[in-house]
Structure 1
Amino acid sequence: MLVRYFAAARAAAGTDSESLPLEGPAPARREVEELLARRHPHPPPGQPSLAEVLARSSYLLDGVACPDPHTPVHDDAVLDVLPPFSGG
């Protein structure tokens, strides 16, 4: 799957996107979040951790809002991580 990070998520992850191989049954979005937080445990100085940013972010799965953390994410999916913008 492809994960695309925006704004504070990009800063915390240190990249604007990454490919994430998913094996076996499709994990829930929440499990993908946990995997991403483990892959990026150390934020740049002065930035919140990726785990903190993910906890307050909204998500698009293949271009559609994905508010349910139990939604399955398939290997060919695109997941956009959208933290709150402009303090909102």
Structure 2
Amino acid sequence: MDTATGTVLVRYFAAAAEAAGVEEERLDAAPTLGELRDALVARYGAPMARVVANGSFLVDGVVRRDPATPVGTQVDVLPPFAGG
């Protein structure tokens, strides 16, 4: 979280960007990754719910999946990637 502004930069990639309709935005910071995830689903609905159900989050450049993880200054929302 940007303590000066109380916001977090959220960047969206691939299907996450499609679900959000933007590639990045500043949002009021949620204290934890789980709360941010819930806020994104509330804001963008079923398309974002599908992305975050199986996707990944990078919190300040580190992959995180634990909903209790504190949100940093930047969170990247990554869709699930196909293998093969």
TM-score by length of 1: 0.77
Number of equivalent positions: 76
In 2, the alpha carbon distance for the partners of 1:49 and 1:70 equals 23
Letter in 2 for 1:51: A
Counterpart of 1:84 in structure 2 is 80
Please state how far the C-alpha of 1:35 moved relative to its aligned partner.
Answer: 0.5
Query: More helix by proportion, 1 or 2?
Result: 2
CA RMSD of aligned residues (A): 1.5
Pairing partner for 2:15 from 8, 12, 33: 8
> Which has the larger share of strand?
2
Deviations along 1:8-27, whole A, 9 cap, x unmatched? 111111111110012xxx62
1:38-63: CA deviation from partner (whole Å, max 9, x where unpaired): 1112xxxxxx6111111111111011
Taking structure 2 as the reference length, the TM-score comes to: 0.80
Unpaired segments of 5 or more residues in structure 2?
A: 1-7
**Secondary structure of 1:49's partner?**
helix
For structure 1, list consecutive stretches of 5 or more residues without a partner in the other structure: 42-47
Identical-residue share of aligned pairs (%): 50
